Structure 1
Amino acid sequence: MKKKLKLFAVTVLALSLTAGLLTGCSKKEKAKSSADLGTPTLKAGETFHAKKPITITMLYNDNPAYPLKKDWLLWDEIKKRTNVTIKLTTVPLSDYEQKRSLLISTGDAPLIIPKTYPGSETAYIPSGAILPVSDYLKYMPNFEEKVEKWNMDSDLKSIKQANGKFYVLPGLHEKAKYDYSFAIRKDMLDKAGLKVPNSWDEIYSVLKVIKAKYPNIYPYSDRWKTDATTNFAAPTFGVSAGWGAGTGINYDATGDKFFFGPTTNDYKSFVTYFNKLIKDGLMDPESFTQSDDQAKQKFVNGKSFMIGSNTQETLVLQQTMEKNLGKGKFEILHMRNPEGPKGDVVSASRLENGVIISSKAKDNPNFKEIMEFVDWLWYSDEGQELTKWGVEGKTYNKSSDGVRTLAKGINFNNLSKNPSSNDKDLRKDFGFSGGVFSYGGSYELEDSMRNDLEKTFQKSMADKKVLPTAPPILYDEDEREQANMKDTPLMDYVKAQTLKFMLGSESLSNWDKYVAQCKAKGSEDLTKQANDIYRKTKDKLK
């Protein structure tokens, strides 16, 4: 699973800044508001069904792990329940972001554009190419109900723009979802008489013992260029990095102000830790450059015993090793995130990738139905159960006490009670539980799709202290452009130097020179600008 599945996780330490929160809507946008669509016709929990058959165009992210099939039960059931036919513009996963941008910029985008992560929508706002969806929430009763029931107003503030509106409908989680941590060979820990490490210091000690027992291997060899690991590690040091690096502008909740994280002593401690792992032969230097397949092969072949992972990928590692070594010959643990110098904290968000709507939808005679359809399919309990589990009696069964089980002959995510090699896959063969529709939801529904490995991990993380979400910096278009001119080359430099410091190709004795270079490239100017804008616009966030 690649990074986007992840993490959208608005990183608590100001990943919201990467959105580049832009200027207000155009006059044309202001002219047409939700009031123009008439009285809402649906209430939360009611099934949307168009009075007459309609066709709605949609961009579809085609994942090679479960390639699109036109005869999926998913499409038939959506049409049956809603009287809507979805006309797809299909784009391969590898080209999705680039193709999405091209289609929107040329005016050729379909009306519904899913798989858009909050922050990436801002590029399309100045041109008026996408709707300020917050103007139309009264036609989205399921979305509004979940926001109110789950107390998510503060979560939505993180995606607001300078005009007080937001332009992406994010996936909504009742509870924060955790996914990324380390997969570790617990059987090797047991053989060495070691306990599962709970902190970064304990990880170092464990790796040291394993290295002594197996001197010809690197105990820890990472994947995803270490971006997943540094993303969940950095907040425990008080900074942000990896996939969560953003602009480097971090938020200090205690002082209610922003600071440039990569020049702090906390960041120095962070890079020093990983430098120590490399220097002492505990971490594979190829972790920063190797392919995912290379990293996985080292783990499953016993050439490493710890790797950055998410729960789904840990399951894949487990299944591969069962084929190679046999069941019962090893044990993998998807371990709880380690504690750091800043305590037992975690960066997490209850928002996920979501949907943007083309402004062309306003000119469609079925505009209100389009908004109601999106609301039902992505945010209603019925729509979410459909896109996750499928059709009751066909792909799953539900007991009188509400417990769902996959139907006989179907498997997914290792949930089948009696798996067989001949089983059909819920996602590949029927279209359910795919990444285009299946995200967000109640804790009960999400937990029902988790295997034992995932449930154990979620429970292990339940008592973590979640860091406060950074408020957005409400840049206008000119301010954002000014910031971009500085933060892009600045963060390129930060990332390059971070790698050098960690690998040891640049001595940490040169830290002061690095800080001076960051300042010369505008780190202090960017921080001042962020705080100035925040102070003058924070009333808009109340």
Structure 2
Amino acid sequence: MKKIGKASMYLMSSVVMLSVLAACNNEDEAAGVDEDVSGAAMEEYAVGDQFQATEPISFSLLFSDHPNYPYKNDWLLMEEIEERTNVSLDVTVVPMSDYTEKRSLLISSGDAPYIIPKTYPGEEAPFVSSGAILPVSEYLHLMPHFSAAIEEYEMEPYLETLEHEDGNYYILPGMHENVWPDYTLAMRMDILEELNLDVPETWDEVETVLEEMKNAYPDVTPFSDRFTFESTMNIAAPSFGTVAGWGLGNGLMFDHDNEEFYFAPATDAHKEFVTYFNGLVEKGLLDPESVTQEDQQAQQKLVNEDSFVINTNSQTVIDYRNDLNGTVGEGNFEIKKIPVPAGPLGHVIGGSKLENGVMINAKAKEDPNFDAMMQFIDWLFYSPEAKEFTKWGVEDVTFTKDSDGNRQLAEDVNYVGLNPAGTKALNVDFGFSGGNLSYGGSTELLHSMMNEEEIEFQEAMLATKEVLPPNPPIKYNAMQLEQSTLLSTPLTDYVRQNTLRFILGTRDLSEWDEYVTELESRGMQNFVDLANSVYSEQ
């Protein structure tokens, strides 16, 4: 039977909730109870409305400071937020490198700002049992834009993955209209053309391409990877039927037919996965240093033509071109992203419509302007108007828009190479398109800052790939969560070590059964049994 998520129940009953709350407020007033938290909130606030507090107010906000575009008090972003909403932000700036640790310390000590962005799903879990952060799903009646996005983007299956034992979720995530694939392989297209090879569509075809490159250039190791091979394992694993690299998580996958979890790194699918990449290493097609080298080393090998293939995203492929211009020479090469290759399961990819989001300090509920704060968060993070604003800036100042709605950066503004002649940077000088306040939204908005090549890649991925459904949530209580963590941590550490050992050949594949036995001795079955027990009782 289908499990109905809390998000769906809140969304369907939002009108009822509003009526009940109104009735409760009337009863409180009659009894002389003062629980007014509406304060500067708008009396009428709905989808499409510009939020503006009824009087000037201020909310505290934690800010992850990126070294490439450090926070400035006089950013146009902050000035415009205050002008449009009547809200000033009291910002606590934390270096990006220390953000996770500092955030934890502030929350644990009770000193965290009210609004805590740049929080990825799962990072809220340690703070739930203490009551330090707000069960935000209980307040969707104050967030019309967020609620509208749930329905428009069909977010229910993804929001269910955020639910905890009490059925609530404690993070307001960034939400994308579609899964947004970015990381894949970049290949030298000119080498493919020289060797009369087509762009590979499967991992088997990737192997064939690498073999032909090696035959033509014996001194080259055609594939030398960056991101310590974590990204490539992450994009490849789903099509083999397993999880690895950045996507390893706790190692669990869900069998939707039998409605139960299993430990993917112990399956034959995982064995097939490591066997494939071990074959690339054994044939001299994949550089074994890929799992240890710094990104700069991998990039230098590509630039020096010691390799022709490397993992990439939409930004790093531009870096590769710029560097290759200096070594190979502009016009003498072509490097592009290829669609993620298909594996034994076909053209499937993993991914989520969720992005990092916002936690809220539970103390904010006591603030007389709590309702106003929730309306403000709803507008700033989830309204289409504010999404364009935080991404592109102010119309006729940082960008222009033609009669068809197409956006273009102002003549003096640049961002990710969209307007190289611009002398000012959209993020550095104005604060827009940063990681704290700008994320999620429509595919149209996402594509609006992509060049034609990247849009072509995105459209090809959406047209040809099936996105695997997310695992359902396992709603552990505090004790169960601690037990699960104690079991999963040594298991996943051991999986990471041995996955790479099998791939590199430092552990022979003949020892696979022994490896599975070692996982069992480390509590694998207890971990899986706990997950299924909790899931079945939800």
Does residue 1:493 correspond to 2:463, yes or no?
no
Displacement after TM superposition at 1:340 (Å): 0.1
Equivalent residue of 1:120, what SS? coil
Distance of 2:514 and 2:54 partners within structure 1: 68
* Residue equivalent to 1:477: 478
Cα gap change, 1:40/1:210 in structure 2, threshold over 3 Å: closer, same or farther? farther
Is contact 1:415–1:451 with CA below 8 Å preserved after alignment? yes
- Report SS of the residue matched to 2:537: helix
Aligned positions, number: 503
Match of 2:503?
Answer: 502
TM-score normalized by the length of structure 2: 0.91
Q: How much does 1:316 deviate?
A: 2.1
Q: 1:206 aligns with which of 206, 209, 212?
A: 209
Residue 436 of structure 1 aligns with which residue? 436
**1:289 Cα offset (Å):** 0.7
| Gap regions ≥5 residues in structure 2 | 1-20, 26-34
Q: How does 1:372-521 map onto structure 2 within 5 Å?
A: 372-416=375-419, 419-420=420-421, 423-462=423-462, 463-521=464-522
How far 1:144 sits from its partner (Å)? 0.6
1:244 pairs with one of 247, 251, 271? 247
The equivalent of 2:336 in structure 1 is 333
Q: Which has the higher contact order (CA 8 A, sep 6+)?
A: 1
d(CA) in 2 for partners of 1:319, 1:137? 46
Question: Partner residue of 1:24?
Answer: none
Classify 1:84/1:526 alpha carbon distance in 2 versus 1 (closer, same or farther; 3 Å): same
Residue 454 of structure 1: SS of its match in structure 2? Answer: helix
CA–CA separation in structure 1 for the residues paired with 2:87 and 2:428: 22
CA distance in structure 1 between the aligned counterparts of 2:182 and 2:400, rounded to whole angstroms:
27
CA contact (8 A) 1:134 1:166 kept: yes
Q: How big is the alpha-carbon RMSD for the aligned residues of Structure 1 and Structure 2?
A: 1.7
Superposed counterparts of 1:163-182, under 5 Å: 163-182=166-185
Distance 1:208 1:275 in 2: 14
Q: CA deviation at 1:466?
A: 0.9
Q: Which residue of the partner structure matches residue 540 of structure 1?
A: none
2:107 partner SS: helix
What's the offset of the Cα at 1:474? 1.2
- Within 2, Cα distance between the matches of 1:174 and 1:377? 17
> Helix, strand or coil for the counterpart of 1:356?
strand
1:471 match: secondary structure: coil
Deviation at residue 323 of structure 1 after TM alignment: 4.4
- Distance, in Å, in 1 between the alignment partners of 2:410 and 2:323 is 25
Structure 1: distance between partners of 2:332 and 2:99:
40
Counterpart in the other structure of 2:350 = 347
Which position in structure 2 is the counterpart of 1:217? 220
Counterpart position of 1:71? 74
Structure 1 equivalent of residue 4 of structure 2: none
- CA drift of 1:535 comes to 1.5
Specify the SS of the correspondent of 1:397: strand
2:187 paired residue number: 184
Which residue is 1:146 aligned to? Answer: 149
CA contact (8 A) 1:413 1:451 kept: no
Q: Distance in 1 between matches of 2:529 and 2:203?
A: 33
TM-score, scaled to structure 1: 0.90
Deviations 1:252-303 (A, max 9, x none): 2232221111111110000111111111111111110111111111112212
Q: Which amino acid aligns with 2:425?
A: D
> 1:205 is matched by which residue type in structure 2?
T
Counterpart in the other structure of 1:362? 365
Q: Aligned partners of 1:296 and 1:87: how far apart in 2?
A: 40
Instruction: Give the 5 Å matches for 1:250-289.
Output: 250-289=253-292
Percent sequence identity is 48
Output the CA distance in 2 between the equivalents of 1:110 and 1:193.
59
Q: Indicate conservation of the 8 Å contact 1:200/1:340, yes or no.
A: yes
C-alpha separation between the residues in 1 aligned to 2:43 and 2:498? 54
| Secondary structure of the structure 1 residue equivalent to 2:145 | helix
Q: What is the CA–CA distance in structure 1 between the aligned matches of 2:374 and 2:326, rounded to whole Å?
A: 47
Which stretch has the larger CA shift, 245-254 or 128-137?
Answer: 245-254
The separation in 1 between residues aligned to 2:234 and 2:531, in whole angstroms, is 22
- Corresponding residue number in structure 2 for 1:310: 313
Q: Give the match for residue 233 of structure 1.
A: 236
